[in-house]
Structure 1
Amino acid sequence: MPDWDAIRYFLEVARTQRASAAAQRLGVQHSTVTRRIRALEQSLQATLFEKSRASGFTLTEDGLRFFTYAEQIESTLLAAQETLSGAAGQLSGHLRIGSTEGFGSTVLTPLMVDFQQRHPGMTLDIMPVPRYISLSKREADIAIALERPQRGPYLCTKLADYTLKLYGTRAYLASHPPLRRREDLDQHTFIGYVDELLFSDRLRYLDDLVQAKRVIFRSTSILAQYQAVLGGQALAILPCFLAAQDARLVPVLENDLRVSRSFWMYCHEDLRHTRRVMALWDYLKQAVGLNQALLQGRSTRLQTPSAPATCA
């Protein structure tokens, strides 16, 4: 029978598809990973991976079947560890949460600081990135995305709606033609995304408002767009939770230009019985709900819950 270490090595290689990446995450040598995988395949009398320079370690049909069982074993061991360490005790362990870049940097990070202060036995990884987070590869324990996952063994909830508005600096607005109606946009320049590199169609909102030739600065990063707006050379559509906290920015045509989007929070179904994951899940639901005014642009300040969130 394979031991837990062998299964742990297998899971890391399956998720990263690279022995070198798995070795880095496990804190061992590359040769140790490949040796343990060969030993596991011999003990199971099955080929778990197809190996190539181009695609790395790709799961075979046997590997895919074993991966399902291995994840169940992993989840069961995590739940057992928490139960035996004392369910009523202080939360401990490690969690990784992935999110869209702007929300993760300006809202999620300060909330996670507050969560960690409440649970000092916890360690956290925050991943605010301009791309999708893969839970199937266990890149994170909890993900916050612009779209609800269409398939997969996930526990999912709508976290919040949020609003985006057109923003510019006071200096820009003072030195350019006035903006009283949508037609006045033709006299202005804009900042937006690199269209062919968008990771979600939910970010494709500028095209409906202005001609492409009026966009003078593009970036895959919403934080880069935010910094570019502060340069005072153009306007940009920004989420209110980012721009409303900066007094240097002013919303333009508020009644005519409002874009609504949503955040979805999800985790792997196997983690719903893991106490620390559900504690963070409940905290985020409470904390983000408390900040609806900021998400809609009616407030300029992020709030944290006044009392600890309930642990599931």
Structure 2
Amino acid sequence: MQKSMMSAGQMNWDDLKFFLEVARTRTASSAARRLGVDYTTVSRRIGALEKALGTLLFERSRASGFVLTTEGQHLLGYAEALESTLQTACEQVSGASLALSGHVRIGSTEGFGSYFVAPQLGGFQDIYPNIAIDLLPVPHFISLSRREADIAITLERPERGPYVCSRLCDYALKLYATPEYLQRHPPIRQVEDLGRHSFITYVDDLAFSPELLYLEGIVPNASSTLRSTSVVAQYQAALQGRALAILPCFLAGPDARLVEVLPDEVKVIRQFWLYYREDLRKLKRITLVADYLRACAERNRAFLLGDAGEMVIA
């Protein structure tokens, strides 16, 4: 494509919105769904932007989708900076009416998002009814750099990146079984007895964080009758009474169908980290959600550590 010089006035700035979504999703169809348009509109707008700039922004392939070229990578940084600046300017110029409205997308680990965050959000929406929440509880890593979420809750602190990050909470995992399982299988009086039992656990090579691989440290070479990438699936399987499972207390603790096994000997402590991009620090709706989640975690410190039976909901 022949390069051409152009002024800012010649560019259709709305095309940058399409460019950003394609860069983040890597497919025109996914970008179209997020933008509420059809595939051909996305393809046409990307083509128009490339023509206006006189350069290819994406390499297209069936295997990899839309992959940014060197020129596209350069534009991405500027486009994201413009997007963030515009969002901040709109909030500050429009005042509280806009600052307390809009969308916030939270990406969380599957169990914590489904069983702790989701029940807490009703209280937030009572206070801020014009802020819509998208909750993404998924058993994999959420990428903030690709704008998959505004706020992330993860097991590990990000090692690098322009993020505002804080430790959200500690939480405990304990060993659980159904009473029926314990009646049918050899007694468990000490940790050494666990070697005679089967476990429900993670698929080691597919675990999205090494923080999930705690069973080996408790029962080396443990026998596993079922492995799953989903902690919710592990929980549901444990309810069938066919094996033991190490589960988060916030998930299994309130369920009377499960009992703790060796609660003093088997207790794993992990952390959740909350973070968002530095360029969102000035967006009031982002900080409101982040502060609310921190307050919910603080109120439930004992519950998350398995020392209280019921969750406190604001």
TM-score > 0.5, shorter chain as reference? yes
The root-mean-square deviation of aligned C-alpha atoms, in Å, is 1.5
- 1:148 and 2:120 are equivalent in the alignment: no
Other-structure match for 1:205: 214
Give the match's secondary structure for 1:139. Answer: coil
2:240 is the counterpart of 1:231: yes
- Structure 2 residue identity aligned to 1:187: R
- Give 1:3 shift: 3.3
Aligned residue identity for 2:309: T
1:163 aligns with 2:161: no
Alignment partner for residue 60 of structure 1, among 29, 48, 69?
A: 69
Amino acid in the other structure paired with 1:206: L
CA shift at 1:211, angstroms? Answer: 5.0
Q: How many Å apart are 1:71 and its aligned residue? A: 0.7
Q: How far apart, CA to CA, are the structure 1 residues paired with 2:98 and 2:87?
A: 16
**Distance between the aligned counterparts of 1:78 and 1:302, measured in 2?**
35
Q: Which residue among 128, 133, 140 is the counterpart of 2:137? A: 128
TM-superposed CA distance for 1:153, in Å, is: 1.6
Contact 1:90/1:121 (8 A) holds in 2: no
2:33, 2:289 → 1: CA distance?
A: 26
Counterpart selection for 2:14 from 5, 29, 34: 5
**Residue 293 of structure 1 corresponds to which residue in structure 2?**
302
Offset at 1:249? 1.4
**What is residue 309 of structure 1 aligned with on the other side?**
none
Alignment partner of 2:173: what SS?
strand
Answering whether residue 195 of structure 2 is matched by residue 186 of structure 1, we say yes
- 2:4 is aligned to none
Residue 25 in structure 1 maps to residue 34 in structure 2: yes
Deviation at 1:135, TM superposition (A): 0.8
Please report how far the alpha carbon of residue 272 of structure 1 lies from its aligned counterpart in structure 2 after TM superposition.
0.6
State how far apart, in whole Å, the 2-side matches of 1:4 and 1:74 are.
11
Secondary structure of the 2:281 match is helix
Uncovered stretches (5+) of structure 2, i.e. residues with no partner: 1-7
Q: CA deviation at 1:146?
A: 0.6
Unaligned runs of 5+ in 1: 306-312
Q: Give the superposition deviation at 1:187.
A: 2.3
Between the two proteins, the alignment pairs up a number of residues equal to 305
Distance 2:128 2:296 in 1: 15
What's the TM-score once normalised by structure 2's chain length? Answer: 0.93
Deviations for 1:239-282, whole angstroms, at most 9, x for unmatched residues?
Answer: 11111111221111122111111111111111111010000011
> Which of these residues, 80, 86, 109, is aligned with residue 118 of structure 2?
109
Q: Specify the code of the residue in structure 1 equivalent to 2:196.
A: Q
Aligned residues with identical type, % of pairs:
55
Return the alpha-carbon distance in structure 2 between the equivalents of residues 226 and 83 of structure 1: 45
**Secondary structure of 2:246's match?**
strand
Q: Secondary structure at the match of 1:54?
A: coil
Q: Could you tell me which of 164, 173, 176 is aligned with 2:182? A: 173
CA distance in 1, matches of 2:176, 2:217: 16
Asked whether the 8 Å contact 2:195–2:222 carries over to 1, the reply is no
- The reply on whether 1:257 has 2:237 as its aligned counterpart is no
In the aligned structure 2, how far is the partner of 1:278 from the partner of 1:213?
43
Counterparts of 1:234 and 1:168, CA distance in 2: 7
**Given residue 264 of structure 1, which amino acid in structure 2 is its aligned partner?**
W
Larger deviation: 191-200 or 275-284? 191-200
Q: Which residue of 2 aligns with 1:93?
A: 102
**Shift of residue 88 of structure 1?**
6.6
Compute the TM-score of the two structures, normalised by the length of structure 1.
Answer: 0.94
The reply to whether residue 279 of structure 1 matches residue 281 of structure 2 is no
TM superposition shift of 1:16? 0.5
Runs of 4+ aligned structure 1 residues displaced above 4 Å come to: none
Contact 2:300 2:312 in 1 (8 A): yes
**C-alpha separation in 2, matches of 1:176 and 1:128:** 34
| Secondary structure in 2 matching 1:273 | coil
Q: Does the CA-based 8 Å contact 2:99-2:284 persist in structure 1?
A: no
1:2-55 per-residue CA deviation (whole Å, 9 max, x = no partner) reads 233111001000001111111111111211111111211222223211121211
